């Protein structure tokens, strides 16, 4: 699948802005890419024709998401904090002991 350089930049930008929670508008994409409206529309229609972008909603499809990640797109979103939980609090717990420490283990049917 051949994708123009502008379409690839657009794919990566849509991924980055979407993951950051930013609103996607055509004027914003034009400013961020530094291209005129005609060039942006051509890139959007190219990605839409290839099934990588929903052109009306400016959202990546699953194949578009996969291609963006595979081509090295980076998210602008901050990782979500786990709250006040320490790493030991979210570590898997050991199973319940069936026998006391003093008792020798035995087979259980």
Look at residue 9 in the predicted model and tell me its pLDDT.
Answer: 93
Tell me, what CATH number does 51's domain have? 1.10.10.10
Task: Report phi then psi at 53, rounded to 5.
Answer: -145, 135
Q: Residue 32 falls within a domain, yes or no?
A: yes
Q: Which residue has the tokens 């990546």?
A: 60
Look at residue 62 in the predicted model and tell me its pLDDT.
Answer: 94
Look at residue 37 in the predicted model and tell me its pLDDT.
Answer: 94
Tell me the residue range of the domain where 21 lies. Answer: 5-70
What are the tens digits of pLDDT across the range 25-77?
A: 999 999 999 999 999 999 999 999 999 999 999 999 999 988 988 888 777 65
Q: Residue 92 falls within a domain, yes or no?
A: no
Rounded to whole angstroms, the Cα distance separating 10 from 50 reads: 14
Percent of the chain with pLDDT over 70: 69
- Global pTM reads 0.66
Band of pLDDT at residue 78, cut at 50, 70 and 90: low
User: How many domains, in total, are found in the chain?
Assistant: 1
């Amino acid at each position: 699948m051949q994708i123009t350089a502008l379409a690839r930049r657009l794919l990566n930008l849509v991924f980055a802005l979407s993951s950051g929670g930013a609103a996607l508008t055509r004027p914003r994409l034009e400013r961020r890419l530094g291209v005129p409206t005609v060039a942006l529309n051509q890139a959007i229609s190219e990605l839409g024709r290839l099934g990588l972008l929903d052109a009306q909603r400016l959202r990546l499809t699953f194949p578009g998401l996969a291609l963006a990640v595979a081509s090295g797109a980076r998210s602008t979103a901050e990782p979500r904090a786990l709250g006040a939980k320490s790493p030991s609090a979210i570590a898997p717990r050991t199973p319940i002991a069936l026998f006391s420490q003093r008792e020798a283990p035995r087979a259980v049917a």
